[in-house]
Amino acid sequence: MNEQDALKAVEKELRPSRYAHTLRVRDSAVTLAEKYGVSREDARLAAVLHDYAKYRPADRMKQVILEADWLDDEWTKYGEPILHAPAGAVYVKNELGCTDPDILDAIVYHTTGKAGMTLLEKVIFLADYIEPGRTTPGVDSVREEAEHSLDRACFLALSGTIQFLVRRRQLIFPDTIHAYNDLAGKIMRKN
């Protein structure tokens, strides 16, 4: 599927403000892809599609996740905000016919990350966190780190997400913790 078709499909699904976020994530993803040697086309397409399921009903998303044999049922047990990532990959595959596993995985892990992320997964995860519309506390230091190290920037973003969730006493999806530990280990080994 090409970017133009993806944009049309996504625009129909999303509110204007969420569509504008999607375009900013795409632009940030392209910048990161060029900097860190990732396919620009893959980054564009994954970024355009990353929030495709944002407004689907949670109960339907849970159902499609449980029905997809390639997704862990655990996704359905950690609150509604993470459902749109794995469910989005299912809808993008079934409704838009996008079967590229690299693109689908980048959509699945864009909210939580995971241990051993590919470069494309890191680029989409980070672009979503640092796109210029984000005002999350600490986002400027993540943007600054993104100029130097993809791993360190993803690590800072994960640390911000985990702190946000802990402050609100929310559940933390295990892959978020695994991503944090994985990058902490990589960063420490480099020092």
Q: Which residues sit at the interface with Fe ion, rule CB under 5 A? A: 51, 128
Give the count of beta carbons closer than 10 Å to the beta carbon of residue 118.
15
Using rule CB under 6 A, residue 28 touches ligand DGI? no
Cα–Cα distance, 178 to 183 (Å, whole number): 9
Min separation Cβ 131 and ligand DGI, Å: 8
For residues 142 and 153, is the Cβ–Cβ distance under 8 A?
yes
Among 58, 115, 172, 187, binds ligand DGI (CB under 6 A): 172
DSSP symbol at 123:
H
Among 32, 46, 161, 179, binds ligand DGI (CB under 6 A): 161
Give the count of beta carbons closer than 10 Å to the beta carbon of residue 141.
12
Identify which of residues 73 and 189 has a Cβ nearer to ligand DGI in the complex. Answer: 73
DSSP symbol at 53:
T
- For 133-172, the three-class secondary structure string (H helix, E strand, C coil) is CCCCCCHHHHHHHHCCCHHHHHHHHHHHHHHHHHHCCCCC
Residue whose C-alpha is closest to residue 56's, from 27, 88, 31, 9: 88
Report the partner that residue 66 touches, choosing among Fe ion, ligand DGI, none (CB closer than 5 to 8 A by kind): none
Kindly report the length of the chain. Answer: 191
Mask for 115-144, x = binds ligand DGI (CB under 6 A): -------------x----------------
Using rule CB under 6 A, residue 181 touches ligand DGI? no
Identify which of residues 79 and 185 has a Cβ nearer to ligand DGI in the complex. Answer: 79
Among 94, 99, 163, 170, binds ligand DGI (CB under 6 A): 170
Binders in 59-118 for ligand DGI, by CB under 6 A: 78-79, 81-82, 85, 110-112
Residues of this chain that interact with ligand DGI (CB under 6 A) are 51, 54, 78-79, 81-82, 85, 110-112, 128, 161, 165, 170-173, 176
